[in-house]
Amino acid sequence: MNQFSRYVCNGLFATAIHYAVLTFNLDVIAMTSVGWANFFAAIVGITASFLGSKFFVFAGCIGKLEHQAARFVLVYGAIAVMHGLILHVWSDQAGLPHTWGFLVATIVQVAMSYFANKFYVFSK
């Protein structure tokens, strides 16, 4: 399996974990705020994404865990801002459907995160 295929698998796995924790928070713990339930679920999903990237996608990369984790958080913070800005311009300013804007932002996010992880977070 090539690196990009592993990246896609890791992303799907992390997303499934995110959704499972969100569902657990809402249905089992009975959290009343979807926003907070999703916030905590996102932390678990992002952690799963980092660990999968470190040990599965970019397994040959050496480097200190704390440096890679700090870079990962920085990259994903910047990507979250970019995602929000795309949706803001697409939907709020241009008046276009948010579903399509979300899709465009997600495509940009996938590309940016792959290359940022490959060449910055987990570079040799």
Alpha helices per DSSP H over the chain: 3-27, 34-52, 65-87, 98-116
The tens digit of pLDDT for each residue in 34-46 reads 889 988 998 999 9
Q: What is the distance between the alpha carbons of residues 39 and 15, in angstroms, rounded to a whole number?
A: 13
- Please tell me the pTM assigned to this model: 0.82
The tens digit of pLDDT for each residue in 11-41 reads 999 999 999 999 999 999 999 988 899 889 9
Q: What is the distance between the alpha carbons of residues 29 and 32, in angstroms, rounded to a whole number?
A: 9
Backbone angles phi and psi of 2, in degrees to 5: -80, 170
